[in-house]
């Protein structure tokens, strides 16, 4: 095998200093995860549809989910500011 053929053969594994197999593996893993995320998003949408049909307010459920992700001190600070702003506006 001459030098040019060896260089061409090496291009299968590394092109321009990039390990093509490794790159392909990373891209395929991300694509699989994106598909899983899409499926999960569909499942979540179905749950919100179920909640709505059961008479629950989906907007409020989303707020509760957002609050549950926060630290209690963050929630308290936001509620305090909300109260101050409401009073400032005469609400």
19 located within any domain: no
88 located within any domain: yes
pLDDT at position 1: 46
41 located within any domain: no
67 located within any domain: yes
Predicted confidence (pLDDT) at residue 10 exceeds the cutoff of 60: no
79 located within any domain: yes
In Å, how far are 58, 60, 75 from 63, measured between CA atoms? 9, 5, 12
**15-64, pLDDT tens digit by residue?**
777 899 999 999 999 999 999 999 999 999 999 999 999 999 999 999 99
69 located within any domain: yes
Determine the structural domain holding residue 75 and report its residue range: 57-91
6 located within any domain: no
Tally of domains in the chain: 1
């Amino acid at each position: 095998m001459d030098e040019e053929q060896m260089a061409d053969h090496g291009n299968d594994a590394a092109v321009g200093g990039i390990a093509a197999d490794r790159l392909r593996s990373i891209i395929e893993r991300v694509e699989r995860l994106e598909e899983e995320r899409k499926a999960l998003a569909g499942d979540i949408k179905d749950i919100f549809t179920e909640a709505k049909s059961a008479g629950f307010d989906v907007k409020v459920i989303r707020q509760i989910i957002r609050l549950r992700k926060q630290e209690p001190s963050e929630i308290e600070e936001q509620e305090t500011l909300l109260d101050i702003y409401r009073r400032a506006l005469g609400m």
